[in-house]
Amino acid sequence: MAGVRRFDEEDVLAKAEAVFRAKGFGATSMLDLACATGVQRGSLYHAYGDKEELFLRTFGRYEARFLATVAQALEGPDIRLALQAFLEAAIDNMTSGSPAPGCLSTRTAGEPTGARIRTEVRGLLDGLDAILMAALARPGAAERLAVPAEAAARLVVTFTRGLAVMERVYGDPAALRATARTLVDLLVPPDPAV
């Protein structure tokens, strides 16, 4: 039947994500994507139009999953523990698997891309900032911060981008976790009464 996709789109997007995370947008070809997904290039072009559109669909899926994971990590009532859980989730996102997949948004931000892709990456970062801001500004949390909630949120977003770079350079999740704990100590000093 003409026009009917004969592949599992979730499976294709998951496999495409793995390729984009491993090679980056610019170095990934439609042939790479066809080989990884098991779907012929013509079928990928027919379904998605071009590599950019397939990347945007892949990135949208990645963004939704990542933002949901970090939002859940920040739900805890204790802001120190919530912030630690958030950073742990961010580190897991880039280090879980073999080889470690890295961070798709940071990798993409460092490449020359079109305006649509830059807008999507900016959207992920803005969404991350909003999630952090909401968690850090809530009653009981804001009072414990060493800096205003807005500044803390922006600092943490920027810090996660640095973590992604350090992961690519050193590949040492334990060092990332230690550095993340230091940031939490600086932003939310431990309660001396505890």
Do the beta carbons of residue 63 and residue 130 sit within 8 Å? Answer: no
Residue-range domains of the chain with CATH: 59-187 (1.10.357.10)
What single string gives the DSSP state of each residue in 69-105?
HHHHHTTSSSHHHHHHHHHHHHHHHHHSSSS----HH
Token pair of 11 as six digits: 């499976």
> Dihedral, CA atoms, 47, 51, 56, 61, nearest 10 degrees?
70
pLDDT at 4 over 60: no
Token pair of 131 as six digits: 């999630």
Section 24-43 average pLDDT: 93
User: How many CB atoms neighbour CB 69 within 10 A?
Assistant: 14
CA-nearest of 157, 60, 51, 44 to 114 is 51
Q: What is the pLDDT of residues 86-144, one digit of tens each?
A: 999 999 999 998 888 989 999 999 899 999 999 999 999 999 999 999 999 999 999 99
The Cα–Cα gap between 165 and 182 comes to 17
pTM summary value: 0.89
Section 160-169 average pLDDT: 95
pLDDT of residue 194: 55
